[in-house]
Structure 1
């Protein structure tokens, strides 16, 4: 249940509709980024041929950058699709989520010092929950 304090209006989101919309976004992103990833990969040999010219090889590096960007976006879309489509968790979320929550609380309690979580605790959390430590640290620094 969410509320807007300025207008006093309360509204609620249906979790099934949100999950369905996220699944649609993830599937669409997977299709789009896979298509553009393969397209970029096929252009790499062609732009490599331009390396013999005495000019800077800007087309090659642009296509290489786009290939990497679509690969990362494809990985993110597939991960989102995996998270949203996990029906075993959707059927009984409370038991698994409570266990994960207890593990996370324990790891946070061990690593909490001076008002923030230390890097060793973040590393342990990333290992436990299969997260990319560099991405987690990047987002921690942004907040």
Structure 2
């Protein structure tokens, strides 16, 4: 008898966690505004390539294909999402320009959802490659990924 009750409890717990991982957790603040237990993250990549060059970027996650985007000189491309309940959110991209390309993880929850960039992740494409900056400093990149031919 206790096996059935234990199995039912475990099944209920697993189903509840599955539902919670798909539903945004929203609550009401004291002032009546909504806030989420899983706040939105913004990822943005700027084009700082020399001589007015453009670059192409194609980003995906396991579940979402964000498509291919051409980013002109002085422009940026950004997207928003919520980190999943399990903290395993991952977006990866391929960027290319003038015969050069690079594959990189533009957001990985295990790396970025701590002090690095929990709300806003800034990236820059320049002549040397793709540079990632921590949220606390836009002066020195902490991730540098050189272009490959």
Task: Give the TM-score normalised by the residue count of structure 1.
Answer: 0.23
Q: Which has the higher strand share?
A: 2
Higher RCO (CA-CA < 8 Å; seq separation 6+): 2
Question: Considering only CA atoms, is the larger Rg found in Structure 1 or Structure 2?
Answer: 1
Q: Which has the higher helix share?
A: 1
